[in-house]
Amino acid sequence: MNLVPLRRRARRMERRFREARMLARAFRHQYQPVAAHLIPVRRCNLSCAYCNEYDDHSSPVPTRDVLRRVDLLAGLGTGIVTMSGGEPLLHPDLDQILRHVRAHSMIATVITNGYLLTRDRIRRLNRAGLDHLQISIDNVLPDEVSKKSLKVLDHRLVWLAESAEFDVTINAVVGAGVREPSDALVIARRAKALGFSTTAGIIHDQRGRLLPLDDRQRMILEGVVGLGKSLFDFANYNRFQKNLAIGEPNHWHCRAGARYLYVCEDGLVHWCSQQRGHPGIALERYSQEDLRREYHVEKKCAPLCTVGCVHRVAQLDELRQNPEATLREWFSAADESEQSRLPRPIGILKWAFVTSSRRDFFRNVALRAFRAR
Ligand code: SF4
Ligand code: SF4
């Protein structure tokens, strides 16, 4: 008897509880990191032309150092720890590291190019307690820009659909360097057919510049977003990607260095992968004072930033500070002929936690239920 679907369902329910607890804590504590990217190895087995986050030679970070960094992130109150790279599956002790993240009750996620996934590797990731895996697929057929291609990865996606007990998200991209924009729709439809979540990313060129999308690319981006299941990603599109797609700046406060940390292979904290060196302080010495300072620092790179995970984290703070206006903006109508409509579950949450005269009671119940006080 195949027990994977049952185990997957049970683990998903337990994970949703932990995610809700993480969100409750993020609302409660303004100066705690919601998410951190941790680099266990800078080396990658691929060499995508647009990428500035890998090399082809460095050794894995010693396991005891990575474990210590996980302890330090837990000490700061971090909710989600994402193993990124380079290619994190190249680290020989990745499973031990993931177990350590879970032992601290944090959410363990991995971003991979998928090339090293086998049936056995997927089962080992299940056993390590991985919560979430993201694969970014750039095109249908490999080309000189990227080999993260559906044709190469498809059988691995099938293995994931058969065996993974963790959530899987496939990120499809549009923008500079993507030869055939409609590939993103092919990739997103295939991911959906296999039961995965999908997200859409706007890719920058080799020099990190964001180029506005043409009409066809914009329609494809909207199509991919429409296939996604997450209300939060739809909101992210409305809040950030719509403007970026037409080359317009976004007005927002990037909270990198506070709500989001990027910890490089040398154990230094940076704002993000694209702004390494700021502030460049050792995680060992990173303190409440650093979190408070970075929370309020204005980042000049913010208007045209494409770093989706930091956008998502910023959305939490916008919601925390001004829930009614934020929800209105997130769920504004796609065009003027349509009416803005708040999805029903969000409407209920808004009533309970924002507009109801008993909102303090509901908030206290939620904080107690999620042990987030
Ligand atoms: S697979 Fe990822 S880390 Fe490796 S070169 Fe491509 S984009 Fe960079
Ligand atoms: S605005 Fe974007 S690029 Fe600049 S620090 Fe924040 S996440 Fe990084």
Domain total in the chain: 1
Q: pLDDT tens across 141-167, in order?
A: 999 999 999 999 999 999 999 999 999
pLDDT exceeds cutoff 70 at 272: yes
Q: pLDDT tens across 62-114, in order?
A: 999 999 999 999 999 999 999 999 999 999 999 999 999 999 999 999 999 99
For residue 336, name the pLDDT band (cuts at 50, 70, 90).
low
Q: pLDDT tens across 195-215, in order?
A: 999 998 888 766 666 788 999
Q: pLDDT tens across 106-120, in order?
A: 999 999 999 999 999
Query: Which segments of 104-182 does DSSP mark as H helices, in order?
Result: 119-128, 150-163
- 363 falls within a domain: no
CATH of the domain at 212: 3.20.20.70
Going from the Cα of 115 to the center of ligand 2, the distance in angstroms, rounded, reads 28
Domain coverage including residue 145: 4-323
Going from the Cα of 373 to the center of ligand 2, the distance in angstroms, rounded, reads 30
The DSSP H or E segment spanning 73 is helix 63-76
User: Looking at ligand 2, which residue's alpha carbon is closest to its atom 2?
Assistant: 305
- 12 falls within a domain: yes
Most informative mutation of 47, 50, 54 for ligand 1 (most atoms within 8 A of CB) = 54
- 335 falls within a domain: no
- 371 falls within a domain: no
3-state secondary structure of 347: helix
Mean pLDDT, residues 339-347: 70
Q: pLDDT tens across 309-333, in order?
A: 999 999 999 989 888 888 887 777 6
Ligand nearest to the CA of 309: 2
Going from the Cα of 52 to the center of ligand 1, the distance in angstroms, rounded, reads 8
Q: Which residues contact 129 (CB under 8 A, 6 or more apart)?
A: 98, 99, 102, 108
- 56 falls within a domain: yes
Pocket of ligand 2, beta carbon within 6 A? 254, 256, 271-272, 274-275, 299, 301-302, 305, 307, 310
Most informative mutation of 254, 262, 313 for ligand 2 (most atoms within 8 A of CB) = 254
Q: What is the DSSP string of 90-101?
A: GSTTHHHHHHHH
User: Looking at ligand 2, which residue's alpha carbon is closest to its atom 6?
Assistant: 254
Ligand nearest to the CA of 312: 2
- 125 falls within a domain: yes
User: Looking at ligand 2, which residue's alpha carbon is closest to its atom 8?
Assistant: 272
Please give the torsion angle defined by the CA atoms of residues 356, 357, 363 and 365, in that order, rounded to the nearest 10 degrees: -110
3-state secondary structure of 64: helix
What's the Rg (C-alpha) of the chain?
20
- 350 falls within a domain: no
Bond prior to 79 in cis (omega within 30° of 0) = no
- 160 falls within a domain: yes
